[in-house]
């Protein structure tokens, strides 16, 4: 597969979520009536605009696409890198799904997620009280366990401040060299002013709670899933996510050797992009 390159959105939108949050979205429409619709859920500290090549692949497969910035990220409202509760992310996902369904009424819907977005997706899909009606999910480098070495003092401080000052933030210690080995993509990430470099105390403790839930419940998932796991990911531990993925009934699991965290931004990204396109096209015809 040749690289498709980024695709410009058909249009941009803003829409509300709970608690007065305003979210930002980018809509991509295929030239003919869509066979399905995808919602792209970006990772932590970034935004949906970094997924325009992913959107191109999905549009080429015949899908309408909505990428969105959830609260605290990109062009969405909210304090950078902060949530009051993990359910805030689920509210934002619900709002985005409603927007996406209007693009292709009655058609199958697939979630395409990365890292923190994959954790949001998996936590929502394994929530017995809040079931999402989706045809399938694509999970890139799911943030189910932290491999990045964080000083113990920072972890202790985040746990304590989550109780008394939840919005307290620290540097998130993400390095562009850990995201991808592609120098051009590293430079683009460094220059991207819509990305941020902080993590709030409450986000940290809520993420741990979401991870714990997913580790316990993932084996109960019963929908088609595609797992694209960076085999050399120094951020989201592949030694945690791969065993979880292989417990999921019918999961298609790819451990991508030599790939760092952002598999769709690596030099060899044509391979995972091809897997994405094939999976999306298959879901659209079922």
CA angle 214, 76, 17 (to 5 degrees): 65
Angstrom distance (rounded) from CA 73 to CA 82: 9
Give the separation between CA 46 and CA 13, rounded to whole angstroms: 18
Distance of CA 186 to CAs 46, 199, 258, Å?
13, 20, 16
pLDDT (0 to 100) of residue 173: 81
| 83 neighbors 210 (Cβ within 8 angstroms) | no
Q: How far apart are CA 273 and CA 54, in angstroms?
A: 7
- The DSSP letter of residue 129 is T
CA distances from 38 to 17, 21, 135, 159, 244 (A): 19, 22, 10, 35, 24
Q: How many of the other CB atoms lie within 10 Å of CB of 164?
A: 8
* Closest CA relative to residue 16, chosen from 8, 28, 24: 24
The band of 157, judged by pLDDT with boundaries at 50, 70 and 90, is confident
The region of weakest confidence among 71-75, 162-166, 187-191 is 162-166
pLDDT in tens, 18-55: 999 999 999 999 999 999 999 999 999 999 999 999 99
Q: Model confidence at 132, in pLDDT bands (50, 70, 90)?
A: confident
Query: Rounded to an integer, what distance in angstroms lies between the CA atom of residue 157 and that of residue 113?
Result: 29
DSSP per residue, 65-126:
EEEEEPTTSTTS-SSTT--SSTHHHHHHHHHHHHHHHTTSTTS-EEEEEETHHHHHHHHHHT
Q: What is the pLDDT of residue 1?
A: 67
DSSP code, position 257:
T
Summarised one tens digit per residue, pLDDT across range 135-148 is: 999 999 999 999 87
Q: What is the three-class DSSP state of 256?
A: strand
This prediction's pTM: 0.96
The mean predicted confidence, pLDDT, of the chain is 94
Q: Walk me through the domains of the chain, giving residue ranges and CATH numbers.
A: 11-284 (3.40.50.1820)
| Residue 154 clears pLDDT 80, i.e. is over it | no
Contact 103, 137 (CB under 8 A): no
């Amino acid at each position: 597969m040749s690289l498709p390159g980024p695709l410009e959105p058909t249009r941009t939108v803003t829409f509300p979520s709970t608690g007065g949050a305003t979210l930002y979205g980018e809509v991509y429409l295929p030239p003919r009536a869509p066979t399905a619709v995808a919602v792209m859920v970006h990772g932590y500290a970034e935004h949906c605009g970094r997924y325009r090549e992913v959107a191109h692949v999905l549009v080429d497969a015949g899908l309408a696409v909505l990428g969105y910035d959830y609260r605290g990220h990109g062009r969405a409202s909210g304090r950078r890198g902060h949530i009051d509760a993990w359910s805030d992310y689920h509210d934002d996902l619900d709002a985005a799904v409603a927007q996406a369904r209007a693009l292709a009424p009655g058609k199958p819907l697939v979630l395409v997620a990365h890292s923190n977005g994959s954790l949001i997706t998996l936590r929502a899909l394994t929530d017995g009280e809040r079931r999402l009606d989706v045809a399938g999910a694509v999970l890139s480098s799911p943030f189910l366990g932290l491999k990045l070495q964080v000083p113990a003092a920072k972890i202790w401080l985040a746990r304590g401040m989550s109780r008394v000052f939840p919005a307290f933030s620290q540097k998130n210690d993400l390095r562009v060299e850990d995201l991808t080995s592609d120098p051009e993509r590293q430079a683009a990430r460094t220059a991207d002013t819509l990305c941020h470099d902080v993590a709030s105390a409450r986000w940290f403790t809520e993420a741990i709670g979401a991870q714990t839930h997913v580790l316990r419940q993932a084996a109960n998932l019963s929908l088609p899933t595609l797992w694209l796991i960076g085999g050399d990911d120094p951020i989201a531990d592949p030694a945690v996510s791969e065993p979880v993925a292989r417990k999921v009934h019918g999961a298609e699991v790819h451990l991508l050797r030599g790939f760092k965290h952002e598999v769709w931004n690596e030099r060899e990204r044509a391979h995972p992009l091809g897997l994405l396109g094939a999976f999306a096209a298959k879901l659209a015809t079922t």
